[in-house]
Structure 1
């Protein structure tokens, strides 16, 4: 199983915008950022259950998708037949605002009154 914070880059763009991912115990996650216009993957990051990851990502507008499960079968099969696939219901805009770079923190578990709305997707849409 990859270490928490293992990133695979699909882009050569400089990674400057902060992105924090918090996860609950129980499941592990492979989080994928996808360009919202071209639908191309930008990067993936592995997050073990119960950990928090802080990475930098390129500026841009992204859809956040993630695969979740317990047992890791590798990057081709992810968490095997029990893999759950989801995506956030909004586009995340990592941008320069004034003289600051905007970033996000997401929490991959149920948060009372949380604002990250997700929907289940098919494996083919991951």
Structure 2
């Protein structure tokens, strides 16, 4: 999966196993950067936190300075005879874009549980 973020804020991306609250992978991506992640095969919901000053995985960008979103729909990562199938995601808002998101509460975001104690990729 390749993710590009707009300049300005910074991002914490969380890939959550569909139908659960299990975070399989997290990634911190600075605003304006692109990062490629090797995502395990499976189907995921993608959440993200956006803000300016990183306060750590638990606090993200601070209680009053974090914007929390979930991308609408699920993202299925598969492999076939031709190789792996993934996604290229640009979090830049666009008129008539094809990637929708919805705001989530701080409670919903904090209930997402990582598979391992610290799985944030940088």
User: Would you say 1:104 and 2:104 are equivalent positions?
Assistant: no
Higher relative CO (CA 8 A, sep ≥ 6), structure 1 or 2? 2
Partner in structure 1 of residue 115 of structure 2: none
**Structure 1, unaligned runs of 5 or more:** 1-18
Q: Deviations over 1:19-64 (max 9, x none)?
A: 0000111110000000003331101001000110011110000000
Q: State how many pairs are aligned.
A: 108
Q: TM-score, normalised by structure 2?
A: 0.83
Matching residue within 14, 23, 27 for 1:32:
14
CA drift of 1:104 comes to: 0.3
**Structure with the largest fraction of strand:** 1
User: Would you say 1:125 and 2:108 are equivalent positions?
Assistant: yes
Matching residue within 33, 48, 69 for 1:66:
48
Partner in structure 1 of residue 33 of structure 2: 51
State the 4+ residue runs in structure 1 displaced beyond 2 angstroms: 97-100
| Partner SS, residue 79 of structure 1 | coil
**Structure 2, unaligned runs of 5 or more:** 110-122
